[in-house]
């Protein structure tokens, strides 16, 4: 039996679209002693693959950390696979505030030394001596206490788009960096202050609270279930949100809105914006904040250099990367000098703009679009704004409504008004034809062409 993915992200996305069924994005973690992480990993893969569960999961001798996408109809069966293990009986599943069927497109379960890279030697302190867990209203109440210090244990690019009022937001790129910095910064408050900590789903605070108690902090508290669970509770119990803005998440969505306050700026033009994107240049993939206008102008790129690069022939792009360090090996997330309006460290909760309300049932509407795969993108002629595709299935005709879909392009719908097949103007095209038509946006080699039925 193959205990790994055999489908590409694009192929999986197509199957999800064709199934037309709603999926749930969720996360969970558990610290526990796992004697054989490799066997545990393989058993989970077999069980979850059978349920069409996807996601990114880390297992280690200390436990499990998972972010996943599960078919809604298989949710209870998925929960049963967790209940089979004593340490996961009754485990809290943090269901996402906003749903997206494409949040995860592969099932990846990796065995790691730790489920969170914290840089700590667990043998030097009691990892079970954790801080006191607080529910949403309790957390809000303690925030009002002038004797409280609240600390964000997430990274700078997470806290930039949203954080709690009055929180200390360290200028760090990873959890490992934050621990010694915060410890040194708060040395004078060990005895008499309430140390209140939070993160996305709670897992980072589980270890951090024990670490800070070991360091001598007397009054240590943590937000139970992190921002995700906090959001669920404030919505269900009609509690005021002390979290302002958007919660960054580590899947295709890159964020889910908690309040409609926009407290960050487009890193390129300074316009109020809190939408992250990854640079379209495969040698970069820098994570940064980009507004819709800059996204269109810069074609999802972080700099003019990257914009020029993506218009080179694919073979030349590959050749230029050969032997070079690329992506996160050379760039810090959101820290490129090409970004003029980046912010980190001491952040404000000043509202720069209000987000427009999302239409209800957007996910369901997206699922209802019935389509069939026609072909794949081959080239985009920038100056003439003409896209080229190869027809691999069925046919296409003038007047057909099509959808172009890809990881960077997103999902774009247009109606074919003029069509060329193999360089000749035509009303219809068939399998094997190389077709071209005018398209106001750039396509990429990963893009697929669908006919909307």
Q: Please, how many CA atoms are within 13 Å of residue 187, restricted to the half-sphere of its CB?
A: 4
DSSP bridge partners of 28 = 66
Residue 260 to residue 254: CA distance in whole angstroms: 16
Give me the long-range contacts of 335-338 (CB less than 8 A, separation at least 24): 335/173, 336/286, 336/288, 336/302, 336/303, 338/302, 338/303, 338/305
Residue 235 to residue 222: CA distance in whole angstroms: 20
CA 387 to chain CA centroid, nearest Å: 29
- Three-class SS state of 261: strand
CB 189 within 8 A of CB 268: no
Reference 283, options 250, 316, 252; nearest CA is 316
- Three-class SS state of 321: helix
Question: Is 199 known to be catalytic?
Answer: yes
Report the C-alpha dihedral over residues 247, 253, 254, 257, rounded to 10 degrees. -20
Output the CA torsion sign for 359, 361, 362, 366: negative
Output the CA torsion sign for 304, 308, 309, 310: positive
Out of 199, 205, 266, 301, the active site residue is 199
CB count within 10 Å of CB 398 equals 15
B/e letters for 202-220, b = 16+ CB within 10 Å, e = fewer, are bbbbbbbbbbbbebebebb
Active site residues: 199
């Amino acid at each position: 039996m193959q205990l790994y993915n055999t489908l590409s992200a694009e192929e999986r996305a197509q199957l999800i679209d064709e199934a037309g069924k709603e999926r749930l994005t969720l996360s969970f973690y558990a610290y526990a002693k796992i004697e054989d992480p490799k066997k545990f990993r393989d058993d989970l893969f077999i069980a979850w693959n059978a349920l069409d569960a996807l996601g990114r999961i880390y297992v280690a001798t200390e436990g499990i950390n998972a972010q996943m996408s599960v078919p809604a109809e298989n949710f209870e069966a998925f929960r049963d696979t967790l209940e089979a293990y004593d340490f996961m009986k009754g485990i809290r599943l943090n269901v996402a505030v906003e749903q997206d069927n494409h949040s995860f497109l592969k099932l990846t379960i990796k065995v790691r030394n730790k489920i969170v890279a914290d840089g700590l030697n667990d043998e030097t302190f009691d990892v079970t001596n954790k801080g006191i867990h607080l529910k949403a209203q309790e957390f809000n109440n303690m925030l009002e206490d002038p004797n409280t210090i609240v600390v964000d244990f997430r990274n700078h690019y997470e806290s930039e788009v949203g954080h709690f009022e009055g929180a200390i937001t360290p200028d760090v790129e990873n959890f490992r960096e934050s621990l010694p910095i915060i410890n040194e910064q708060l040395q004078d408050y060990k005895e008499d202050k309430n140390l209140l900590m939070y993160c996305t789903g709670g897992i980072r605070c589980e270890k951090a609270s024990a670490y800070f108690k070991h360091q001598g902090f007397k009054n240590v508290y943590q937000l139970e279930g992190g921002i995700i669970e906090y959001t669920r509770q404030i919505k269900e119990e009609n509690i005021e949100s002390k979290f302002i803005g958007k919660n960054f998440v580590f899947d295709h969505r890159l964020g889910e809105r908690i309040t409609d306050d926009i407290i960050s700026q487009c890193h390129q033009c300074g316009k109020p914006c809190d939408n992250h994107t990854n640079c379209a240049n495969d040698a970069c993939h820098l994570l940064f904040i980009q507004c819709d206008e800059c996204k269109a102008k810069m074609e999802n790129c972080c700099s003019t250099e990257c914009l020029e690069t993506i218009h080179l022939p694919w073979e030349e792009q590959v050749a230029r990367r050969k032997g070079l360090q690329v992506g996160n090996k050379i760039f810090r997330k959101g820290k490129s000098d090409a970004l003029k309006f980046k912010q980190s460290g001491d952040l404000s909760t000043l509202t720069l703009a209000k987000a427009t309300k999302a239409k209800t049932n957007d996910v369901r509407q997206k699922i209802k679009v019935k389509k069939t795969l026609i072909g794949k993108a081959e080239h985009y002629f920038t100056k003439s704004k003409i896209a080229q595709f190869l027809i691999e299935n069925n046919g296409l005709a003038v007047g057909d409504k099509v959808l172009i879909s890809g990881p960077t392009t997103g999902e774009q719908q247009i109606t074919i008004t003029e069509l060329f097949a193999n360089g000749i103007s035509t009303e219809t095209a068939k399998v094997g034809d190389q077709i071209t038509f005018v398209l106001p946006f750039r396509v990429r080699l990963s893009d697929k062409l669908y006919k909307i039925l």
